Amino acid sequence: MADQLDSWDAESAELHAPLLSQYEVASALTRRRVAGDLSPEDAAEALAIIDGLGVAFDPAPDNARAVEIAVELKRHSAYDAAYLALAERLGAELWTLDGPLARNAGSRHRVVLID
């Protein structure tokens, strides 16, 4: 993962994510903190690293398209579909660490699973 981020940085690649992703990161860090698996310092460091990536957070997702994608994929949630709708709108690949998201997208969307 670090190598890929370094590569994107060297290429001055534009990174985009739905605003939703900020809440998902906060939720994941909160779960780890409550479980005692993550120190306050490590959580702060994780947030600083994420802030340093220069990700453009898209505040206005195409909710109608996200709903359609969720229905196409027979999902009961539009969370993953928000990422797919943004990638589709930008004409970009979606890179993810989320195996189920990559599998659920199938061949309908360009998704790269980061190992």
Q: The domain that contains 98 carries what CATH number?
A: 3.40.50.1010
pTM: 0.82
Contacts of 33 (CB under 8 A, 6+ apart): 40, 43
Q: For residue range 63-99, list pLDDT tens digits in order.
A: 899 999 999 988 888 888 999 999 999 999 999 988 8
Token pair 């909710």 in the structure block, residue: 63
- What's residue 43's pLDDT? 96
Of 19-23, 30-34, 56-60, give the lowest mean pLDDT range. 56-60
- Count CB atoms within 10 A of the CB of residue 102: 18
Q: What is the pLDDT of residue 93?
A: 92
The predicted pLDDT at position 101 comes to: 87
Domain that holds residue 50: 2-113
Interatomic CA distance for residues 22 and 111, integer angstroms: 20
Question: What pLDDT was estimated at residue 75?
Answer: 84
Domain count, the chain: 1
Q: What is the mean pLDDT of residues 20-43?
A: 95
